[in-house]
């Protein structure tokens, strides 16, 4: 087994390889966002990309040249958010999270460095938001970052009730192309 070592104050987690680390954690949502972003880029609607995770490779196993395998790596710094880019002349930055929980969204899924990053995006005039999927309800919401951050910082619980998202979030419609039509919500929320 390989070891991925986090920066200070973040726990280490053993994994078989780097690519497996995030498997099963929001990958359906992530794939749908990635496909939507490809559609938006191809049609020149927006230029939005998934940010790479900053990893420093330390040791590679070379049993054969074609089968090189990363066996030890470190996260250089915690990554900020999942996606960024430009839409209608504005900088856009957002984080995507998925939960199977039926009644609430666990706050621990959003990390302090992500909150601080999205606060700075807002401070500098950019658009920041969260895309939150409740898989048990088959619903995906877009929530303005300052609104969700305020809730996280003031709530006395470890989770935010599902009903809060129904009242304060904006449902993202699904379609064929793009799969997740989140820019329609961005238009309504930030450009109307």
Question: Is 153 marked as binding a ligand?
Answer: no
Question: Is 181 marked as binding a ligand?
Answer: no
Question: Is 93 marked as binding a ligand?
Answer: no
Residue 125's region, left for phi above 0, alpha for psi from -120 to 50, else beta, is left
Contact between residue 83 and residue 52 where contact means Cβ atoms under 8 Å apart: no
Question: Is 174 marked as binding a ligand?
Answer: no
- Name which of 188, 167, 19, 186 is nearest 92 in CA terms: 186
Phi, psi of 47 (to 5 degrees): -125, 90
| Residue 164: other Cβ atoms inside 10 A | 18
| Residue 145: other Cβ atoms inside 10 A | 24
Distance CA 52, CA 50 (A): 6
Binding residues for Mg(2+): 80, 82, 95, 114
Binding residues: 80, 82, 95, 114
């Amino acid at each position: 087994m390989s070891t991925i070592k986090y920066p200070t104050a973040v726990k280490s987690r053993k994994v078989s390889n780097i690519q497996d680390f995030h498997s099963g954690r929001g990958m359906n949502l992530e794939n749908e966002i990635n496909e939507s972003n490809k559609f938006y880029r191809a049609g020149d609607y927006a230029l939005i990309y998934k940010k790479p995770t900053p990893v420093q490779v330390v040791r590679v196993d070379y049993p054969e040249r074609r089968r090189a395998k990363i066996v030890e790596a470190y996260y250089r710094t915690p990554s900020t958010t999942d996606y960024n880019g430009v839409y209608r002349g504005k900088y856009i930055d957002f984080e995507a999270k998925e939960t199977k929980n039926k009644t609430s969204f666990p706050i621990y899924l959003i990390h302090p460095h992500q909150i601080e990053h999205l606060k700075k995006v807002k401070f500098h005039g950019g658009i920041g938001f969260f895309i939150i999927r409740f898989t048990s309800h088959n619903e995906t919401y877009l929530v303005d970052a300052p609104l969700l951050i305020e809730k996280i910082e003031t709530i006395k619980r470890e989770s935010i009730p599902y009903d809060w998202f129904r009242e304060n979030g904006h449902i993202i419609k699904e379609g064929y192309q793009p799969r997740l039509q989140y820019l329609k919500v961005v238009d309504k929320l930030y450009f109307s």
